[in-house]
Amino acid sequence: MTEDGKARILVVDDELSNIELLAEVFDEEYEVLVATDGARALELAASQQPDLILLDVVMPRLDGFEVCQRLKADRATADIPVIFITGMGDNQAEVRGLQMGAADYVTKPINPLVVQVRARNQLELKRARDTLTRLAVTDGLTGLANRRHFDEVLQREYQRVQRSGGQLSLLLIDVDYFKAYNDNYGHIQGDDCLRELAKQMGRIFSRAVDLPARYGGEEFVCVLPDTDLDGAITMAERLQQAIAELQLPHAHSPVASRVTVSIGIACGPSGQKASPLSLVAQADEQLYRAKLNGRNRYCWEGKS
């Protein structure tokens, strides 16, 4: 989807006449990308993330079947619907394409009205699926990732760094004396407070690979792939500074007159028995230490 809300369609065909026809059909309503061979189609699919791919079956070198197979094997492009365009008129070929994950078929010679309707149907289905997917992984109050999505991403990133030998950091974040905040300001303002904090987390943890999430209640968590201890400490400092600059009043907090947070920092993997759960447990232990030592601070293993 483009910034102005237009769906993006990738047209893949080695015949320029077909590309010109399809571009004319879709250009007014959608953004149209074109590729004249399979290799270029794969590049554009990965880099531009089109909402729909119209894919010719018969092409030199990489044919449409091979391109579709590679698209569906790559997590980054697997959910992009593919409509095959073919003049083969072969039921077996059609079945083969559908089994590979193609969403639909359009036969040559291309009927502009038919291809337009089929494309629109697939785009509407994709929008519905994207909405359901987004709702399934998003916390309804804060707009951050929810606990389920956090668990999935942590598991995946942990396995990745185990294979690559990299580092993964985790921040577990708790709003200091939030019960007192709710008791004195009310739950509606408490929800507003959590939303404001979530906005800061989304701004601070801004890399595409970072995942800030609501862990539960007034607790948040952030997965920081490819980040060592020094990097995690820097991010914890930035977050505390950003929250301090909000100056959200908290007259009933024993540690400050404004809203503050305590943060536990953990890095991994470390040790043969290490696991995603052990990394969370380590961050939770450090969060407990931060609270025990006066709150409004961050702690990590080894810090006095």
What gap in Å lies between CA 221 and CA 214, rounded to an integer? Answer: 6
DSSP state of 36: S
Closest CA to 288 of 301, 272, 274, 276: 301
What gap in Å lies between CA 59 and CA 12, rounded to an integer? Answer: 9
Residue 35 near residue 29 (C-beta atoms within 8 A): no
Closest CA to 198 of 235, 173, 169: 173
Catalytic amino acids?
218
Both tokens of residue 103?
């969403």
